[in-house]
Amino acid sequence: MIDSSWRDTPRRFCTSKYIEVVMKSSCSRALLLCGLFCVSCDSGPDDDASSGSETETDGLTGALDADSEADSAAEPGSPVLVAPQESASPGYPAWADHDLPDPFAIVASNGYNVFGTTCGLSRICYYQGATAKTYNAQLTQKPNPMPTAPPWVNTQDWALWAPSVVKVGSTYVMYFAGTSWANNNAKCIGLAKSFDGVDGPYQPEPKPLVCDSTYWNIDPSPVVSGGKRYLVWRSDDAAHVTGKIVAQEMNATGTGFVGSRVTLLTGAYAWEDDAANASKGLGPLENPSMHVFGGKHILVYSANNWKTANYAMGIATCSGPLGPCTKNATTQPWLNKSWTSPFIETTSTFVGAGGGELFENGDGKLYLVFHAYHSTGSTAGPRVPWVYRVALGFGYNLVQI
Domain boundaries, the chain: 11-52+64-82, 104-399
> Strand 285-293's sheet: what is its strand order?
285-293, 296-303, 312-318, 325-327
Q: Are 208 and 152 in contact (CB under 8 A)?
A: yes
Residue 61 has pLDDT above 60, yes or no: no
What is the average per-residue pLDDT within 86-107? 65
What is the DSSP code (8-state) at residue 114?
Answer: E
What is the DSSP code (8-state) at residue 47?
Answer: P
% of the chain surpassing 90 pLDDT: 54
% of the chain surpassing 70 pLDDT: 72
Q: Are 401 and 390 in contact (CB under 8 A)?
A: no
Residue 265 has pLDDT above 90, yes or no: yes
Tell me which H or E stretch contains 263.
strand 257-265
Q: Which of 118, 83, 82, 91 is nearest to 103 (CA)?
A: 118
pLDDT at 19: 26
121: left (phi over 0), alpha (psi -120 to 50) or beta: alpha
Q: Which tens digit of pLDDT belongs to each residue from 375-400?
A: 888 888 889 888 899 998 666 899 88
| Numbers of helices and strands, H then E, in the chain | 0, 28
Q: Are 286 and 234 in contact (CB under 8 A)?
A: yes
CATH architecture of 104-399: 5 Propeller (2.115)
Q: Which tens digit of pLDDT belongs to each residue from 304-315?
A: 999 999 999 999
The rounded distance, in Å, linking the Cα atoms of 296 and 302 is 20
The rounded distance, in Å, linking the Cα atoms of 314 and 302 is 6
Please report which confidence band the pLDDT of residue 278 belongs to, taking 50, 70 and 90 as the band edges.
low
What is the average per-residue pLDDT within 284-300? 96
Residue 71 has pLDDT above 50, yes or no: no
Number of Cβ within 10 Å of residue 360's Cβ equals: 15
Whole-prediction pTM: 0.78
Strand pairing category for 398-399 and 344-345: parallel
**Mean per-residue pLDDT over the chain, rounded:** 77
pLDDT at 239: 87
pLDDT at 400: 84
323: left (phi over 0), alpha (psi -120 to 50) or beta: left
Residue 12 has pLDDT above 90, yes or no: no
Q: Which of 318, 317, 315 is nearest to 333 (CA)?
A: 315
Number of Cβ within 10 Å of residue 29's Cβ equals: 16
- As to burial, measured by CB atoms within 10 angstroms (0-12 exposed, 13-18 middle, 19+ buried), residue 171 is middle
What is the average per-residue pLDDT within 67-75? 30
Beta bridge partners of 345: 399
pLDDT at 242: 87
pLDDT at 81: 22
Please report which confidence band the pLDDT of residue 401 belongs to, taking 50, 70 and 90 as the band edges.
confident
Strand pairing category for 296-303 and 31-34: unpaired
Residue 133 has pLDDT above 60, yes or no: no
pLDDT at 131: 60
Q: Are 116 and 104 in contact (CB under 8 A)?
A: yes
Torsion of the alpha carbons at 157, 162, 163 and 165, rounded to the nearest 10: -170
Beta bridge partners of 234: 218, 245
